[in-house]
Structure 1
Amino acid sequence: MRLSFLLACTVLSASAQTRDQPVNLLNGDPMSVFRLSQAGLGRGSAVRVPAEGQSFTEALRLSTSAVPVNSWDLRIRAAGNAPTRKDDTILATFHVRCVEPADGECAVLLNVEQTVSPYTKSANVPFIAGAEWKRVRFVFRMSEDYNPGGYMIDFWISQQVQVAEIGGISFENFGQGVKGSELGLDALYDGVAPDAPWRAAASERIDKIRKGDLSVSVKDSDGNPVSGAVVRVKMTGHAFGWGTAVDGTKLLAVNADSDKYRQFILENFNCVVLENDLKWPGWEANRARALRAVEWLRANGIQKIRGHNLVWPNWQHLPRDLPALQSDVAALRKRVLDHIQDAVAANRGTLMDWDVINEAYTNRDLQKILGDDDMVLWFQTARNYDPGVKLFINDYNILSANGANLLHRNGYFDIIRFLESKNAPVDGIGMQGHFSSPTAPETMLRILDRFAAFKKEIEITEFDFNSSDEELQAQFTRDLLITAFSHPSVTNFLMWGFWEGQHWLPRGAMIRRDWTSKPNHDVWREMVYGKWWTREAGVTADDGIYSVRGFLGGYEVEISTGGKTVTLPATLVKEGTAVQVVL
């Protein structure tokens, strides 16, 4: 199945044909042409209801009473009534709100696809809505030439039990060569504008939670304040973890690329996760490599190292001998616990975090046999063999997928709540962050707020943005960095690799194969080592004190007066740090 859609801002090629007179793709009143699919009968309903106080008079109330096995089984759909050409610009407009759950969110997925196999998709994008009516305007382009009836327009309502209403629906074909901005949409995505309200609030939070007051007091040998002493404050390292996934083999190899690989890591990151070497199969295949990689990182000043991961509970991601133990519950349980003991004990005192469980919502092969309570046992066993390491759970599609994968997000939330109810020693929540399209910053902040209610650390553990649009990639990287850094529960932010030559999704890298920088790397340097990096200088006042507000982390403080210079290390903490010098 081939997916071809672009966000609202996407610049489309070819010449405009119907810009002034767009063609309606629907045949008649949307309230009549959209019908519930046959497969959805018994799981949901679609009824017409009045829409008060809106520009439209009626809406479809879409009720989901049972979540289907296949997400496409529960949908309303209408046949496309007008011919389209490949790359035609389509503006979808609709209004949506959530009726149930009250004060909650509903998810509706817009899907436009070929009527017959292979069901080529022109759009497949989820949207979320709260209790108030939300107007959605979304631009995509058609992936093929179609005759009338050759494509279907759907709204899927299959993520959770809910009641949503949708109205004011239109699909207009503007031909080719039309930009989303020409149709009044944001240049890239919601919240991207320089004056978007979320930016000022985020900046205020960053100043409050990521900075502290550093004071330098200079006195002479008699204890008198020294005024006019020159003080230079230079940051040497962030308290916040800015990191990346690395490959153990590439890290330890002896060749020109590995030399550049190591240098880049040390120049750009203070936090690292081994991409595969500490995963169960990789650990058992070559534990020496994993241990050597951790040793090299620590010896070169990187103390923030994540362990990823102890249990990824799907046969595909487990050692090959485990499926043979399915009929012997005791032996299977022992095999899992022995591995946790082995890996945690061998790395005791060297790691910052362990992802105890990875992707537990969609990977349940072990839980189906051992039971969900064994997840608690996995955390307890890890705690027993390294009381000092922080224990995380980790999952995907929490912030990504337009923030609208409620089925996955709610499932992850429920797993964490279950672990909490069983007193599992969970210290942190990992959100992977694999994106192929942006999620609005305000949406991500709401999601972070929801999970912050657990009062645990949150880490962005595996960020990449898989796109050939480098402008969009760079802009969203900037906004996600701001979003994460501004949230008080987020403690670390890790890329899932950085170099095209060693990246699972090369388009998501920040450095090209020839080691030249992409715009998203420029953003990384601009923010992490520019805007959020403190370099200040000044002179002591009459009381002998120089004060500065800086980002939390390590510092080098240099004081010069009367031909004497003293340089001291300092660590700026949130409560503030006072440095006292006698010259």
Structure 2
Amino acid sequence: MDRYAHRKSACTLTFLDKQGNPMPGRKVHARLGKHEFKFGCNIFWLPAMFDERVPAERRALIQKMWESWSALFNFGTLPFYQGRYEPKEGVTMQESTLRTAKFLDEHGVALKGHPLCWHTVSAKWLMDKTDEEVLENQLFRIRREIGAFKDYIHMWDVINEVVIMPIFTAEENAITRLCAKIGRVNMVKAVFDMARQCDPNATLLLNDFNTSEKYKELIADCLAAGVDIDVIGIQSHQHQGFWGLEKLQEVLARFETFGKPIHFTENTFVSGDLMPPHIVDLNDWKVPEWPTTPEGEDRQARDFLAMIDELFAHPQVEAFTNWDFCDGAWLGAPAGLVRLDGSHKPSYDAMKQRIWQEWHTDVTLMTDENGQCTLEGFRGEYAIEVDGEGASLTLGKNTPEQTIQL
């Protein structure tokens, strides 16, 4: 049995010449260029590639990282943490972020903005506002960001980590204060309603690191209240070691019951020493150095393959985002697929082998007397070549027949 059959389709292709006549006995080369499944990674470092104030040596390294990133992924996450994106009220990073989004869009990368509302990395200046003013600001921000990026970003983590939001104590902030006052469901509904109003066609996610029944209950309560959630976002930061297939399957079983697409939005495997198991809040682990090691790199590659194999086999999982691409980012962890110098780890090579070789379609077919042939392969966007003429097509779930005129 093919455990990835749900990732594939078959399509009867009919080839016509410029006069509309069938093209029998022709070789057809079909190559998958972009998976339907979203294989992704955050890409917070890319804006520096366009910033002339950044030292040339650093920009050259980022260029190298971009080339490696784009050879592997088709889906990127850009940062919209309000505390960094808008450190002073009304002063935003829109220009540099917009330039980056445009570049990625031009290179065929699907994008997600993360997040529109969150209690961590919140804007300090919100603390001086009343709860009503904080909510008004969040709704204004959603209108501003979705409006400005509407041509390039069609997916958003609307609100992040709501399970802990009203009881969060690590840092005083205005978002926790507001959520505690109006309640989780009202908070979620307010921001989702505004996001949907701003872009009716956007894909909107609720995202959380809490994978327990509490998150399931929150989702159920939000849906019952009419919140228009498109996708369930699940974080899987595994700094303390791989969950294991049993837990992963339990998490999938818990959230598949909603019948909605599932995205693994933030996945981390470290290639150095594991974080001690007694650490509850990952942010509490602070070490002067956290180097990658050969043994850790081998473990990281194995863990990546075990997890991505299981997720790709699940029909409701539509996206997987790695967190981060290069070592030394969040928590200073060796969590990248590439090292600090941009060189590839075994995990990068293993993922590339899976995505672009084992889960890849590159075939040569022959048209019959009617100018037809059947393309069977992984769903996604294909480049087609016949007699030196090029064309493109999308092999999807509901594309049993397509006609291509050359």
TM-score norm. by structure 1 comes to 0.58
Q: Quote the residue 1:144 is aligned against.
A: none
| AA in 1 matched with 2:153 | L
Superposed CA deviations along residues 194-236 of structure 1, whole A, max 9, x for unmatched, are xxxxxx6xxx2412x1111133334676956623x22211111
Paired residues for 1:557-568 under 5 Å = 557-560=384-387, 565-568=388-391
State the partner residue of 2:365: 538
User: Is this contact kept in 1: 2:328–2:334, CA < 8 A?
Assistant: no
CA-to-aligned-CA distance 1:503-534 (integer Å, 9 cap, x gap)? 54441111112222111101110111111111
The verdict on how the C-alpha distance between 1:446 and 1:582 changes in structure 2, with shifts beyond 3 A counting, is same
Contact 1:232 1:557 in 2 (8 A): yes
Give CA-to-partner distance per residue, 1:341-384, whole Å, 9 cap, x none: 22222222421211111111122213112333132111111111
Any residues of structure 2 matched to 1:297-376 within 5 Å, and which?
297-302=104-109, 304-313=110-119, 316-325=120-129, 328-364=130-166, 365=176, 366-372=178-184, 373-376=186-189
Whole-angstrom CA distance in 1 between matches of 2:14 and 2:269: 46
1:156 match: none
SS at match of 1:374: helix
How far off is 1:502 after superposition?
A: 4.6
C-alpha distance in 1, partners of 2:138/2:270? 34
Q: Where does residue 228 of structure 2 map in the other structure?
A: 425
**Structure with more of its chain in helix, by fraction:** 2
Hey, what's the Cα distance between the residues in 2 that align with 1:362 and 1:217? Answer: 55
Equivalent residue letter for 1:368: A
Identical columns (%): 25
Inter-CA distance 447–477: structure 2 relative to 1 (3 Å threshold): same
CA distance in 2 between counterparts of 1:485 and 1:294 reads 27
Higher strand share: 1
1:235 aligns with 2:37: no
Q: What is the Cα deviation at residue 487 of structure 1? A: 1.3
Matched residue, 2:10: 213
Number of residues paired by the alignment?
A: 358
- Letter paired with 1:578: E
Residue 416, structure 1, aligned to residue 202, structure 2: no
Distance 2:332 2:96 in 1: 24
Q: CA deviation at 1:265?
A: 2.7
- Relative distance call for 1:531 and 1:323 in structure 2 (3 A) is same
Structure 2 match to 1:78: none
Residue identity in the other structure for 1:296: F
Give 1:321 shift. Answer: 1.8
Residue 41 (structure 2) aligns with: 244
- Tell me if the contact between 1:237 and 1:555 (Cα under 8 Å) persists in the aligned partners: yes
Tell me the distance in 1 between the aligned counterparts of 2:81 and 2:405.
51
Q: Which runs of 5+ in 2 are unaligned?
A: 53-58, 88-92, 167-175, 273-295
1:464 and 2:262 are equivalent in the alignment: no
Task: Measure, in 2, the Cα distance between the counterparts of 1:464 and 1:559.
Answer: 43
Q: 2:248 aligns with which of 428, 444, 450?
A: 444
Report the Cα distance in structure 1 between the residues aligned to 2:104 and 2:24, rounded to whole angstroms: 42
Give the letter aligned to residue 434 of structure 1.
Answer: H
Counterpart contact for 2:65–2:342, Cα < 8 Å:
no
- In the alignment, is the contact (CA less than 8 A) between 1:397 and 1:434 conserved in 2? no
Are residues 516 and 329 of structure 1, via their aligned partners in 2, closer, same or farther at CA, if it must alter by over 3 Å? closer
Matched letter for residue 227 of structure 2: A
Name the CA distance, whole Å, in 2 between partners of 1:533 and 1:323.
51
Which SS does the other structure have where 2:195 is aligned?
helix
- Tell me the CA shift for residue 311 of structure 1: 1.0
TM-score (norm 2): 0.81
Question: What is the distance in 2 between the residues matched to 1:368 and 1:224?
Answer: 67
Determine the structure 2 residue equivalent to 1:259: 63
Specify the alignment match of 2:336 in structure 1. Answer: 509
Write the letter of the residue equivalent to 2:104.
L
Task: Tell me the CA shift for residue 417 of structure 1.
Answer: 1.1
**Structure 2 SS opposite 1:243:** strand
Query: Which has the higher Rg, Structure 1 or Structure 2?
Result: 1
Q: Name the residue aligned to 1:384.
A: 197
Alignment CA distance shift 1:581-1:301 (3 Å):
closer
**Matching residue's letter, 1:358:** N
